[in-house]
Each structure stands twice: as structure tokens, then as C-alpha cells.
Structure 1
Amino acid sequence: MLIFIILIFLLLIGYLTYFVIFKSDEVLQNPYNKRLWAYEEDVTRGSVSDRRGVVLAYSDRQKRIYEYGRLYCHVIGYNSKTYGKAGIESKYNTLLLGKGDWTEVFNLAGDNKAGYDLTLTLDHRLQRYAYDKLGNRNGSVVVINANTGEVLALVSKPDFDPSDNALVKKWTELVESDKAPLLPRATSGLYPPGSVFKIITATSAIEQGFDNDEYTDTGSVTIGDTTFFNYGKKANGEIDLTKAFALSSNYAFCTLGTRLTSATLRETAQRFGFDKTFDFDINFSKSVFPKKDTDAAGSAALAIGQGTTLATPLQMALTTCAIANEGIIMSPYIVQSAVNKNGTTVYEKKPEQLFKPITPETANQIKDMMIETVKTGTAKGAQIRNVSVAGKTGTAENELLEKEDNKEHTWFVGFASVNKTQIVVCVMLEYSGGSGGELCAPIARDILKQYISY
């Protein structure tokens, strides 16, 4: 009998230890956990600061203050008794409450009454600048240090006031709005990538030995029952792959798509992160490449970023990071560290590799194509005097074009070397009409110039 009681006791201790180590975070982050809210009444929630020490969020007598209002609503998120938590407030709830270390194995409530303070990788100056550059347009900006994975700016519009009072007043309007202001477009918006996907198609072409092919671009190409046109139906004449990339020739890339097939494009896209999930500091949507093989016309559409391929701006920024960083995608992150009230670091993120989709040699070939695109192609709007900028533009068809003209999504992805650091920028404008070269490239250029000025 005694042995049985001891066994039950050990099993109970083992379960409690397992629960605290492996399940406590899940319980702590559950917005419906009433015990958690009771605990929070006695805790001063930790602050959130940018990489230079600018305080972005803090608590005053249990009231959460967002110093810059809407500017970080899709990153820091919100902390509401009524509507729960989102963003960093949700993912790092444990640390913000001063919990989460091994001392809690036998102390579930904890004695700490002060949360840990978080430092982000974001640069407030760059975040504000990118936010202002978007203006009243819906879309997003992602800026990443390709060498480390540090996210330097992350902006989505439309936005909202994350304060608890504003959420209570506006929640129904926010949820029912057809503009979906609660959606963090930079990380969870899924869009046809258009011609920025040609980075991946060009990668496949190089790997399959098609990089020396030449094309007589007549402005359109018919594959099966589908005719594909260049932007503006422009005929580019005799071109090689580099020129086809720089001019964003749908003729050349649709032709490539039929040779590569959807299966090859899928395998390449998945190496860059399509159809994959990974650990990130805020929730994000998985970018998707269609799972079923398609016919020649379908492969042609996929090669130019159309069809049913969908990507987040974060995904296309990471794809560009591989080109900027010699074929390696570093794991992106926003939270740099956490310290307790004594100044002791209790959490610190170290850069780590996420994917290695391509060789350095292939990355450098694509880089040269992207530099040529800015010099002589569709991305001339991204040029910066005395700075080598690499880029790719995109203009993507979508469902609204069946009803209205001039509703294309527009894209730009690119990078520049700043003091031996590769800074990647992705700009995406939703239903903007026009072209990525006209609308998005100048925004990216100005953001890069702003970063260089620091």
C-alpha cells in the first residue's frame, strides 16, 4: 500500500512538472484564463521598447499604454480583458508577466510582481518613416537585416487603435469592416505575388541549366487556350534571361514555366519557405503553392506568380533575404531580449539559420539580375545615387479585376548593402492599380535612403 501511495505521489509530481514546463505557457496565454487575469491585477506588466530604447508600450496602474497608438498595432498587438491579446502581447505574455523560468516548477503562482521588459529589433525611426510612406494606402512594408534575421520595420495598413477603451468602442466595427483592419497584412495577408515570384522561377531556370536560353519576345505568348501578355503588351524583342528578368517579360517566363513544369517550381518554392511554418514572434499565415500538378498553361501562370499561388509580404521578404545573404535565409525575429527589474537578462535571441534554399553561386546570379533590374529595367524607381540596389517589381492580377479595372496588387522586393549589412525591403500595395515599378519601388528607395542616413 505504501509503495502504491509513493507511486501515485511521484506520478502527480511528474505531471505537475510536465504541466508547468510544457503546458503553462499555453494556459498563461489563453485569454479566457480567469486565474491569469486575477494574477495580472497584482503584476505591473513589462514594457516594450525598440532597439534604441524608445519605450513603445508600458503599464500605468494596470492600464496598458501604447505610446504611439496605431503605429505598432499589428506588431505589439493589444492586451484587453474583453477581447484577449494579440501580437507580442500574446506570444510573450509569460515574459511580460515576469513568469516562465524554472523556479515556477513548484510555484505556479510565483512571487514576482513585476513583469520582464522586452527589447525589440524594430527601429522606431524606420517604423515611423515606413508608416508615413504608406500614407492612406492599404498594404505593408517589411524591412529585415538579411544577415541576422532581425526585423527592423513591420507596417500594415489599414490599422486600428489598440488601446482597451478604443477596442471596446470600436470592436464590432473593426470585426465587420470589409477593410479588415485587424488583419496584419505584412505577416498574414495572402496575395498573388505576381512578378516578384520570378526570383523563384529564375532560380529554377538556373538550376535546370536554362540560364543561357534566349527569347524573341513579341509581347504575348499563347499556351494551350490561354494567351499571356507582357505588362502594357510591350514587345521586348531578342532577350536573354537577365534581360527578361529586368524587363519582367511574361513571354520569357511563361515559356520557362512550361519547360520547368509546376512540379519543379513547387519544389523550388518550398525550399524558400512556401507551404512551411516556422517559429516566429507573432502569428503569420503560411504561403502556399498549389499541391496538384497542372498543365502547360497552368505552369506558365505559376511561373509569373499568378494561378493559385499565394504569398505574404513576409515570405517574399525572406525569399529576397536568400538572394542578399548568399543563399541563406536567417530565422526572422522581432523580440531581441527580456530583462527583469534587476537588469538581469532572462531571455536573449541569437541569430540562427532557417532555410538554405540555394547555393551562393545561384544567389549571386539572381543578385546580378536584380541589380540590372534597378539599373535598366522595371525597378529604376529604386535607384539611389552611389548605392548598388538590387530589386524586382511585381504587378499581380486578383479577383477584383473581374469587376473593376486598375485594381492590381503591386509589389517591390529589393536590398542594398549598408556597411556590409544586407538590408531587405518588401513593399506591397493592395488593389492599388498601376505597377510595382511606379508605386512600390520609390517607397522602398526612400526607406533604404532613410536607413542609410542613420
Structure 2
Amino acid sequence: MNKPIRVVSVFCLVLFMALLVNSTYLMYVRADSLSDDPRNRRIITATFSRERGAILVGKEAIARSVPSDDQYKFQRTYSQPFKYAPVTGYFSWFSQTGVERSQNEVLAGDDSRLFVTRLVDLLSNSDPKGGNVLLTIDAAAQDAAWAGLEALPGDAQGAVVALEPTTGRVLAMASTPTFDPNNFASHDFGAVADLDEQLNNDPREPLINRAIGTTLPPGSTFKLVTAAAAIESGNYDAESMVPGGFRYQLPQSTTTIGNYDDGNCGGRRITMTQALQVSCNVTFLSLANELGTEAMADQAEAFGFNSTSLEDLPGQATSLYPRDMDAPQTAMSGIGQSSVTATPLQMAMVAAAIANGGDVMRPYVVEEVRAPNLSVLDRTDPQSISKAISSSTADELTEMMVATVADGTASPAQIPGMDVAGKTGTAESTGDRPPYAWFVSFAPADDPQVAVAVLVQSSDTSPDEIGGGRLGGPIAKSVMEAVINR
């Protein structure tokens, strides 16, 4: 072989090898990243050419795909967008959030549980369809939660979570301000990108599901955890005499902390039940200091702090009880201040655990996974994740919470003819903003069907009118009634 032919042959061989290496690299090394790249038009076309499965609340499809009148076959639509957006999330050409994200493989039809369905579609030459997802949400409870948030004055920020105590099923999850996921599902990709940038830069943070993604000081609702730790220590019960009075001096400090109303809680020595009824800061500051950081942290973690438990909805923030607090900080933690932070979901889990005899159930929002023909492929089984307190401690806390609703700060949650258990909270924020209002409750107290947590992060309410009972109590009451009367 002469030299020119040999050079050309070697050059062609090098080109062939380079092409082979590049193909191998693209198909095996970069395959996943290219598939997930929002600029990949082939993936976009395939995504919008398949009928995505529905997200169901009861018999209603709150998210579904319908035939489109443009270059793509299907358009994603949301029937009650603002009310359910924190749960459904959105489905767009570049990303998904909420259930649209956590259940994407099912909804897109790629889940292994849909193998038979895909095979049948292939053999019958039918267009492939995605599976359906049934949520645990109770429509009436969600309506009540959303209406309560909408009724708050001004451009409010807040969230509501309702759980079924015995199972962990999420019966309601609402957050405000919110957004319209229909706009994210638009086939005008430039407009979707602009919307994403606009909402991500919005100081009101409408894309955050505050029910699970916002952590704030839980204030006096955390006194339930402090009371639980005190009773679990074996040194206290509901009728034990505890410190009352006007003010408490923090250990190793000259700082004193008073009660919310500057009162004396009914005397220098009061029962623990009375302390919870009037939400006496002095009592729970004293108890937290006596119990110490380790006991308080152990109790908080038993309820779910310092971990996450929601597995089928992305975005859960970790509620925190730091283990490295000093004595003054530990005392302040007893009233839900210092470095203690919680999501509304976490505080709903505290109330639900008390209602459930001390058992903390894993919360979940996906009830069933269904094939396109609605046959059930999978169903979530309730799971206990910890024993936070003994059943006897839960009974005592329930009695204390019932007294707090019957004749205490939580009276706005009263339901005629029924015992309701509840606790208010008003958490201090920075000096330049009003406090946060919290409310937790469950009902009926003797046979709990629903536990609720309400957070009002901000609203057009004068600072002296902000209180967990005043703002959160009526919302919790309406959600509980919706579940009980269904």
C-alpha cells in the first residue's frame, strides 16, 4: 500500500473511532443529563405527545391532560389551581414540583408498575397513557382550609395542615400566597421561563409550600412538647403545682421574661393544666430549664424534630431543636423561641401524636397509584415512625388541651356539643415585624378524627390583635368541622 492511501486509511480509522467514542459517550455517559436537559426538543415533544395521568381528589381530577389545539398533542390543566397548587405542584417543559414531581414516573407512564399497561398499548397499537394518582386530601377539609386563609385580612402569608391521627393521611394542605400551575403548563415556553423568573424573585415567595417548606418559631404551641417532656420525666402530671407569677429570670442572665398578657397566670403556684390554659410563659420557661437540653431535645425528636418524614411530596424543611443550646436558650426553647423552628406539618404531627395515644404516624399524601383504567396498582399503608409519649401522658395532655379550649386561650375552636383539644401560639419575630400566630388542635377529643395546625405568618392585622386563637382558631375549627361532618 502506498503512503498516500495509508495516510487516508489511518485518518478515516481515526475519524471512525472518534465517532464511535462520541456515540458511546452520548448514549451511555451523558444519556441521563441530555434527557433531563430542558433544551432537548425531542424530550419536550415526547412529553407533550403522551396523555399524562390524572391527579385525583376523590372522584375529581384536579390535574389532567386534555387534547391540545397546537403542535403538541396534550395540554396539562388544573381545575382548582390556586387551592391545590402547593400539593399538585406544576408540570412544565423544564421541570416539575409537588406531586407532579414525586409521582412523575407514574403520571408519565414510565413506572415499572405500569409495565403490563405499556405492553398492552404496544400490542394493540394504542397511544400510551400515564397512570393516575389518588390523593389523601379530603375535598371539604381543603375547601375550609383554603377559605380560612383567603379570609385573612390583606396580602396574607400562611398555611394549614390537617392530618388523620391514626394513619398520617394528609386531609388538607393549603398555603398562601400561591400560584396558578396552568401558566407553567403553557406551551409558550418563553412565557413559562419568564414566569418562573418572576415568581422566584417575588418577595412573597408564592412557589413555597409554607405547610412543609417554611420553618418559624412555633411559640406557645411548643409548650405541648415541653409539657410532654415534663410528664414523661415522671415528676409531673396535669395537676402538679408548677411556678407561675409575673416574670422569669433566665439562668446565667439578668434578663427576665414576662407572660404574653403581663399577668401572673393566676398566682405564684398553679397547676400545669392552668398553666397551659392561660399559656403561662413563666411555667414553661422554668420547666424547660429544669428538664435540660438533652431531655427537651429527646422529646422534640420523638415528635419528629431534626428529621423529615414526608416521603411522597418534595420540599419538606427540617424542623429544628438544636442540641447545643446553652441554659438561657434551653429555657427559651420551652416556649417555642430561641433556635427552635417548626413547619406547620411538624406541629400538626405533634397534635396528631397526642390524639393517637402517643404514636407518631408518617404523613403521606398519595393514597393510591392507579392504572389508566383506574385499577389499583398500589396503596400506601399507614406506618408508625415513633412512640413520642406514653398513652397515659397523651391522655393527660388531651385533658389539658380540652381545658384550654373549654376555658382558656384556645376557646375560638369550640364546637358545640363536642370536646375539642387545642393550643394557641404567638411567636415573637424580629423587632421590626409583627409576631407569628399559631394554632394546633384535634377533635373530637375522645375519638380524634382530625388534627390541625394553622400558621399565620403575616396579615394586615394590627400587632395588638395578633394571636393564635384569634387568627388561627376559627380556621382550625372550620377544618375540623368539615372532616367530622363529612
Residue aligning to 2:196: 171
1:409 aligns with 2:436: yes
Quote how far apart the aligned CAs of 1:371 are. Answer: 0.6
Separation (CA, whole Å) in 1 of partners of 2:374 and 2:321: 45
1:188 aligns with 2:213: yes
Quote how far apart the aligned CAs of 1:41 are. Answer: 3.4
Separation (CA, whole Å) in 2 of partners of 1:215 and 1:31: 61
Asked if the contact 1:31–1:85 (Cα under 8 Å) also holds between the matched residues in 2, the reply is no
Residue aligning to 1:114: 129
Distance 1:27 1:243, change over 3 A: farther
Separation (CA, whole Å) in 2 of partners of 1:27 and 1:440: 45
Asked if the contact 1:28–1:36 (Cα under 8 Å) also holds between the matched residues in 2, the reply is no
Quote how far apart the aligned CAs of 1:278 are. Answer: 2.7
Asked if the contact 2:53–2:107 (Cα under 8 Å) also holds between the matched residues in 1, the reply is yes
1:452 aligns with 2:464: no
Quote how far apart the aligned CAs of 1:286 are. Answer: 1.0
Distance 1:120 1:419, change over 3 A: farther
Quote how far apart the aligned CAs of 1:240 are. Answer: 1.1
Separation (CA, whole Å) in 2 of partners of 1:64 and 1:418: 42
Distance 1:29 1:280, change over 3 A: farther
Q: Name the aligned partner's letter for residue 54 of structure 2.
A: S
Quote how far apart the aligned CAs of 1:303 are. Answer: 0.6
Of residues 343-352 and 208-217 in structure 1, the stretch that sits farther from structure 2 once superposed is 208-217
Matches within 5 A, 1:202-213: 202-211=227-236, 213=240
Gaps of 5+ in 1: 1-18
Separation (CA, whole Å) in 2 of partners of 1:36 and 1:257: 56
**CA-to-aligned-CA distance 1:401-432 (integer Å, 9 cap, x gap):** x124xx10010000003994521011110034
Quote how far apart the aligned CAs of 1:365 are. Answer: 1.1
Quote how far apart the aligned CAs of 1:215 are. Answer: 3.6
> Over alpha carbons, which structure has the higher Rg?
2
**CA-to-aligned-CA distance 1:326-367 (integer Å, 9 cap, x gap):** 111111111111221233222211212122211111111111
Asked if the contact 2:167–2:383 (Cα under 8 Å) also holds between the matched residues in 1, the reply is yes
Quote how far apart the aligned CAs of 1:216 are. Answer: 4.9
Separation (CA, whole Å) in 1 of partners of 2:386 and 2:38: 36
**CA-to-aligned-CA distance 1:384-413 (integer Å, 9 cap, x gap):** 1111100011000112xx124xx1001000
Separation (CA, whole Å) in 1 of partners of 2:311 and 2:203: 27
Q: Name the aligned partner's letter for residue 230 of structure 2.
A: A
1:145 aligns with 2:141: no
Distance 1:168 1:418, change over 3 A: farther
Matches within 5 A, 1:235-384: 235-236=264-265, 237=267, 238-283=269-314, 284-295=316-327, 297-384=328-415
Quote how far apart the aligned CAs of 1:33 are. Answer: 9.0
Residue aligning to 2:53: 46
Residue aligning to 1:230: 259
Match of 1:66 among 78, 102, 109: 78
Quote how far apart the aligned CAs of 1:309 are. Answer: 0.7
1:385 aligns with 2:416: yes
**CA-to-aligned-CA distance 1:85-122 (integer Å, 9 cap, x gap):** 000000000000122216869x99x9571000111111
Asked if the contact 2:156–2:458 (Cα under 8 Å) also holds between the matched residues in 1, the reply is no
Asked if the contact 1:144–1:152 (Cα under 8 Å) also holds between the matched residues in 2, the reply is yes
- Over the aligned positions, Cα root-mean-square deviation in angstroms equals 2.5
**CA-to-aligned-CA distance 1:156-194 (integer Å, 9 cap, x gap):** 111011122474453222111111111110001000010
Asked if the contact 1:29–1:94 (Cα under 8 Å) also holds between the matched residues in 2, the reply is no
Asked if the contact 1:161–1:167 (Cα under 8 Å) also holds between the matched residues in 2, the reply is no
Question: Number of residue pairs matched?
Answer: 422
Asked if the contact 1:57–1:65 (Cα under 8 Å) also holds between the matched residues in 2, the reply is yes
Q: Name the aligned partner's letter for residue 119 of structure 1.
A: L
Quote how far apart the aligned CAs of 1:452 are. Answer: 2.6
Of residues 298-307 and 36-45 in structure 1, the stretch that sits farther from structure 2 once superposed is 36-45
Separation (CA, whole Å) in 2 of partners of 1:27 and 1:300: 50
Q: Name the aligned partner's letter for residue 451 of structure 2.
A: V
1:95 aligns with 2:106: yes
Separation (CA, whole Å) in 2 of partners of 1:332 and 1:257: 28
Separation (CA, whole Å) in 1 of partners of 2:358 and 2:37: 40
Distance 1:420 1:232, change over 3 A: closer
Residue aligning to 1:436: 468
**CA-to-aligned-CA distance 1:2-24 (integer Å, 9 cap, x gap):** xxxxxxxxxxxxxxxxx9xxxx9
Q: Name the aligned partner's letter for residue 277 of structure 1.
A: T
**2:282 alignment partner, SS class:** helix
Asked if the contact 2:166–2:361 (Cα under 8 Å) also holds between the matched residues in 1, the reply is yes
Matches within 5 A, 1:208-219: 208-211=233-236, 213-219=240-246
Asked if the contact 1:275–1:287 (Cα under 8 Å) also holds between the matched residues in 2, the reply is yes
Separation (CA, whole Å) in 2 of partners of 1:419 and 1:209: 24
Distance 1:307 1:30, change over 3 A: farther
Distance 1:194 1:91, change over 3 A: same
Separation (CA, whole Å) in 1 of partners of 2:446 and 2:62: 27
**CA-to-aligned-CA distance 1:113-157 (integer Å, 9 cap, x gap):** 100011111122321221111115210010111111111110011
Distance 1:418 1:67, change over 3 A: farther
Separation (CA, whole Å) in 2 of partners of 1:247 and 1:382: 15
Q: Name the aligned partner's letter for residue 335 of structure 2.
A: I
TM-score by length of 1: 0.87
Asked if the contact 2:317–2:343 (Cα under 8 Å) also holds between the matched residues in 1, the reply is yes
**1:310 alignment partner, SS class:** coil
Residue aligning to 2:61: 55
Separation (CA, whole Å) in 2 of partners of 1:354 and 1:36: 39
Q: Name the aligned partner's letter for residue 128 of structure 1.
A: D
Separation (CA, whole Å) in 2 of partners of 1:376 and 1:418: 15
